[in-house]
Amino acid sequence: MALHTGTILVADDHPLFRMALKQAVEQAFPESKVKEAESVDQLEKLTDQGSEFDLILLDLNMPGAHGLSGLIYMRDRYQNIPLVVVSASEEANVIYKAMEFGANGFIPKSASMDVMVEAIEHISQGESWLPPNIMPQQNPLLGEQDHDLARSIASLTPQQFRVLGMLAEGQLNKQIAYELGVSEATIKAHMTAIFRKLGVRNRTQAVIRLQNLDVGSIAGQVH
Amino acid sequence: MALHTGTILVADDHPLFRMALKQAVEQAFPESKVKEAESVDQLEKLTDQGSEFDLILLDLNMPGAHGLSGLIYMRDRYQNIPLVVVSASEEANVIYKAMEFGANGFIPKSASMDVMVEAIEHISQGESWLPPNIMPQQNPLLGEQDHDLARSIASLTPQQFRVLGMLAEGQLNKQIAYELGVSEATIKAHMTAIFRKLGVRNRTQAVIRLQNLDVGSIAGQVH
DNA sequence: TCGAAGATTCGACCAAAGTCTAATTCCGTC
DNA sequence: GACGGAATTAGACTTTGGTCGAATCTTCGA
């Protein structure tokens, strides 16, 4: 694993913040190359074109990454690459869950440049990193069904994950088909496949199942 | 407002915990009458039959109360009655939101009997009450759209709120119709009315809109 | 007591969602 | 370079969802 250099990917849809992250990376590793992506689609294009990365900084609020499901999906696709979650949220709950879903670190967007540099240095050395005020969580927050759901999401194909994301935004099959440039019949076929993998019967239940990821124990489990 | 006595309603689906709450109430106010309900439906039956209460202890995980939406709905229906949220969740976020949505107090289920008694005493005197480790929140957590949504939920009729709850569990119109003993056409009509009030076009968007209540800023707002 | 407004109910009709089958393309392996 | 399996695509068909108009029922105040 690259200790001093390598190619680092910054995936965030906010241009200013992407720039700040890039600077932090370059300060920590002057020799490193930094590439940028402003959506999950762009990120996948880069890797499809053969780009290889030694570290990914991932914003969970970015287009295409829908909360923790984006992390789960990415974690499975790039298993050997350290993955750092960058997020505006500083909820302890979210941070713990991100780590349990396999993030190598968590950098809050409110962090100072120095802290970001420090975090990146730690993580690139194979250590994990958490915000200073956050204690490492001992007892797992996630239950068996959470991991089931994670496995389901990880098993989605790229196109299916894209479709699921648009479903989670409440779009109609017709709209999704138009945006992806395929027929409505195709989207329906993807939907059926997604429902099978998530273990639900229809789109409403799919959305409910997904929301349990982020909400978790707050509102109690649905029987 | 009854300072020393009155009728108090304990609404919780867990029998053991209902008993514990009842004891706490009787210890705080030996003169008081305690009535019990194990679902929102039962609670509404009691008030429909003319019962009047001076304080309601409400569990948000109870059947029929779907998270914070249950609080919003109840708060609007019984505006002059102090409403205390009792919940297994101790997330600061949830507590603050509950208070912003008009709860008069928040009692975590992990609290000791003494603490519960103290909380009930405070609230019955018109004061608010929070768990000891929770600081009163200064800046509002909720945005304008949250209050819009709250107004929408408050404007639902009892039957519509029931239907919305079952929708949020992922049930089909057919199933909801069967459970409520009406025709499927009726449920569809309720759905249309609910969508209008929530400002959405279909059931999937309705579920998404509701989830923003509980999740709030955790995963960021949808475009 | 008599409306008036809202709540609840329902049937008919149209739109959207979901399933099944199957063709085509893509990718890694032998 | 051919083969096999998975992904993507799509058409035909069935089921579910959603809107409209309208009939009862309730409730509350004139």
Assess whether B171 (CB) lies less than 7 A from strand C: no
In angstroms, what separates the C-alpha of B61 from chain A's closest C-alpha? 7
Instruction: Report DSSP state, residue A41.
Output: H
Task: Taking residues B80-104, report their average pLDDT.
Answer: 90
Q: Phi/psi of residue A214, each to 5°? A: -80, -40
Q: Which amino acid is at B133?
A: N
**B contact test, residue of A97, A194, A211 with most B CBs within 10 A:** A211
pTM equals: 0.90
> What are A127-145's pLDDT values in tens digits?
999 998 888 877 777 888 8
Residue B113 CA: distances (Å) to CA of B31, B51, B108, B179, B209: 18, 27, 11, 38, 37
- B101-130 b/e (C-beta count within 10 Å ≥ 16 → b): bbbbbbbbbebeeebbbbbbbbbbeeeebb
Examine the pLDDT at B157 and tell me if it is beyond 90: yes
Q: Which amino acid is at A116?
A: M
Q: At what angle do helices B68-77 and B40-48 cross, to 10 degrees?
A: 0
Assess whether A196 (CB) lies less than 7 A from strand D: no
> What are B111-147's pLDDT values in tens digits?
988 899 899 989 988 899 999 888 887 777 787 888 9
Using the structure, give the distance in angstroms from the CA atom of B51 to the C1' atom of D30, rounded to a whole number. Answer: 28
pLDDT in 10s for each residue of chain A, 223 residues: 444 558 899 999 999 999 999 988 898 889 899 999 999 989 988 888 777 888 999 999 898 888 899 999 999 999 889 999 999 888 888 899 999 999 999 999 989 999 999 999 999 888 999 998 888 877 777 888 889 999 999 999 999 999 999 999 999 999 999 999 999 999 999 999 999 999 999 999 999 999 988 775 433 333 3
Q: Is the separation of the CB atoms in B8 and B103 below 8 Å?
A: no
Inter-chain CB proximity A60 and B89 less than 8 Å: no
A155 lies within 8 A of chain B by CB:
no
Q: Which two tokens stand for residue B97?
A: 């939101």
Residue A158's closest CA among A12, A43, A58? A43
List of A residues 165-184 with CB within 7 A of strand C:
172-174
* Confidence (pLDDT) at A103: 94
Q: Which two tokens stand for residue A81?
A: 């690459």
Measured in whole angstroms, the distance separating CA A18 from the mean position of its chain's CA atoms is 16
Nearest protein residue, CA measured to C1' of C21: A189
Examine the pLDDT at B57 and tell me if it is beyond 80: yes
